[in-house]
Amino acid sequence: MKLTLRQQITQFAHVLQTRLFPSLEEELGELSGSAKRLVATLEMIPLARFVPSARGWIGRPAKDRLAIASAFVAKVVYGFTHTRQLLESLQRDDQLRRISSGFSLSTLAPVTDYSIRRRRWPR
């Protein structure tokens, strides 16, 4: 039997509420609303399918690309307008850092480095 979209979403929400959130809360303590949204979003979006992992591409190594994509998701879910806000939050918020363990500060290009590169490109 094929599930409708509504049934799939209902089933997904049930798994989040009954299995995933309780196990995370055991380990991390009570999850904030933003943390729950981040967990649900990262579970719902198959980022690995959208991030190229083939060797030979120019830029960051394949393992870092998924981490950077996860960082952008966290930035949006938490409502940060600047990457600096995300970096500061990762340093002080243990819950965010552990949920987003797919990325770390070392996988993100330093903000100043990015800003310098951006100024070099014509607008």
Closest alpha carbon to 34 in 93, 84, 81: 93
Question: pLDDT tens, 11-35?
Answer: 888 888 888 888 888 888 899 999 9
Question: Which is more confidently placed, 75 or 101?
Answer: 75
Statement: the pTM of the whole predicted model exceeds 0.85: no
Average pLDDT over residues 71-83: 92
Q: Classify residue 47: in a domain, yes or no.
A: yes
Q: Classify residue 20: in a domain, yes or no.
A: no
Q: Classify residue 63: in a domain, yes or no.
A: yes
From the number of C-beta atoms within 10 Å of its C-beta (0-12, 13-18, 19+), residue 103 rates as buried
Average pLDDT over residues 40-61: 77
Q: Classify residue 10: in a domain, yes or no.
A: no
Q: Classify residue 8: in a domain, yes or no.
A: no
Q: Classify residue 75: in a domain, yes or no.
A: yes
For residue 83, give its domain range: 32-120
Q: Classify residue 115: in a domain, yes or no.
A: yes
| Percentage, residues of the chain above pLDDT 90 | 20
pLDDT for residue 33: 92
Question: Which is more confidently placed, 60 or 16?
Answer: 16
Burial string for 52-66 (b: 16+ CB within 10 Å, else e) reads eeeeeeeeeeeebbb
Q: Classify residue 94: in a domain, yes or no.
A: yes
pLDDT for residue 101: 63
CA atoms of 62 and 59, how far apart (whole Å): 9
Question: pLDDT tens, 90-103?
Answer: 889 888 888 876 43
